[in-house]
Amino acid sequence: MPLGILYALAAGLMWGLVFIAPLLLPDYPAALLSVGRYFAFGLIALMLAWFDRAGLRRLSRGDWLKALKLALVGNLLYYLCLASAIQRVGAPLPTMIIGTLPVVIAICANRRNTQRDGSLRWRQLLPSLLLIAAGIGCVNRVELLNLQQQTPIDGSNYALGVVLAIAAVTCWTWYPLRNADWLRAHPDRHPRVWSTAQGVAVLPLALAGYVLLWLVTRTTSHPLALPFGPRPGLFIGLMVTIGLFASWLGTLCWNEASQRLPTSVAGQLIVFETLSALGYAFALRGQMPAPLTLLGIALLIAGVAFAVRLKPVPVVAQEHSA
């Protein structure tokens, strides 16, 4: 279990990098950032596939279909929603909304994985939910005030950013549950092979997304300078960096953690991603978080820390005590 926690920490540190790309490239549409990131990830995985060729040959047609679904929802769609949200409302608020993932995943895992992982008592999760909700409320207040000082707030655009962040949470609630299902069902398979398989599976999806984006932008009055946009050097550098570290290596570390930890526990450790992303975002701004933001972060950490302390009770033990 300690090794699984360290793997989850490493994944969170690398995943936090994906939150700053939309801030460094605000003039790039979120769709281009999403397909660019995963096209780079796919190319990296394709090169690494040679080293994992024996393990990849063992994957069945059903396994590849599973990898394709995971890549579509947990990679392309998730990052499209997240990048869109960040470009609309800034990084801190979407980051905090993503920070609810630990408890959201724990609740969902508590409903569907009871037989395999044990069960958490619902009344014990309530304090965590209240602390996390209060933390998000604090950060939301600060970010609204910041936007008001910069420009008049476009209420519909802000609301859309929040909805997109919630959609990203939905995608990444679905992903780790299904991903953990496969890993726990195949303990004899190396998590690196599964990471590479998802990278190979996402490559044709990202390529198709590139083509679709090119066709759509050709019909507008201001076509996008594809394939690399107006700042190709920065774009390529960022995409390769997050494709290698956040996508392939981060996924590898997360798979290692998922194979060692109960899903309800592993899901809560996504808080490492939230803290990393907030740290990177405020470093990029060159400022310290406001006191209310720090309070919100503290409440989020407290909520997740409280939930992490809860131990799933095996179903047999529950029935015996009853």
Find out whether 250 and 38 touch, Cβ atoms under 8 Å: no
Residue 186 is predicted with a pLDDT of 85
State how far the Cα of 182 lies from the Cα of 259, in Å rounded to an integer: 9
pLDDT digits (tens, 9 = 90+) for 81-135: 999 998 888 878 788 788 777 778 777 776 665 555 556 666 777 787 788 778 8
- Annotated domain spans of the chain: 2-321
State how far the Cα of 176 lies from the Cα of 266, in Å rounded to an integer: 9
Residue 117 is predicted with a pLDDT of 55
Amino acid at 313: V
Residue 78 is predicted with a pLDDT of 92
Q: Chunked in runs of 10, what are the mean pLDDT values of the chain (322 residues)?
A: 85 87 87 90 90 90 93 91 88 79 74 58 75 79 73 74 92 87 83 87 91 83 75 90 86 81 69 81 84 87 74 55 44
Residue 296 is predicted with a pLDDT of 86
Residue 145 is predicted with a pLDDT of 77
Residue 208 is predicted with a pLDDT of 92
State how far the Cα of 255 lies from the Cα of 201, in Å rounded to an integer: 16
> pTM of the entire structure?
0.78
How far is the CA of 202 from the CAs of 35, 65, 300, 310, 317, in angstroms? 9, 11, 32, 36, 42
State how far the Cα of 214 lies from the Cα of 267, in Å rounded to an integer: 36
Find out whether 274 and 104 touch, Cβ atoms under 8 Å: no
